Amino acid sequence: MRPMTIDLTQEDLRPYFLWDEDLSIRELRERLRGDDAYERQRLLGKLLREARDTDVWLFVTPEEVARQLPAVARRVGRRLGFWQFLIAGWRRLGILSQ
């Protein structure tokens, strides 16, 4: 397995939140943008569950999270309430569209 890092600019290293999977930051970005819907949802769920919320935005947009949250909800675990609260608040404030 490649070394883990908290420095998310190190594209060839494994991000700290993928502690159980040998995937580089670059590979994660590619798979989050790829054609495989199952893989995108699996990795987005893991990102929302394991990464610090401020680091999530280095990989996906708030609009993507809001759009995909219902589909990945079962993968997010105990962090689901946080993401639902955040998205609902941003919608109430007009930061995200309904």
Tens digits of residue pLDDT in 45-92: 999 999 999 999 999 999 999 999 999 999 999 999 999 999 999 999
Q: pLDDT value at position 71?
A: 97
On whether residue 27 sits in a domain, the answer given is yes
Tell me what the mean pLDDT of segment 16-29 comes to: 97
Would 33 be classed as within a structural domain? yes
* 98 part of a folded domain: no
Residue 98 clears pLDDT 90, i.e. is over it:
no
Domain coverage including residue 39: 4-92
23-48 pLDDT tens trace: 999 999 999 999 999 999 999 999 99
The total number of structural domains in the chain stands at 1
Long-range contacts from 78-83, C-beta under 8 angstroms, 24+ separation: 78/49, 79/48, 79/49, 82/53, 83/48
**Does residue 59 form part of some domain?**
yes
Whether 45 maps to a domain, the answer reads yes
Domain assignment present for residue 65? The answer is: yes
97 located within any domain:
no
Could you tell me if residue 77 is left (phi over 0), alpha (psi between -120 and 50 degrees) or otherwise beta? left
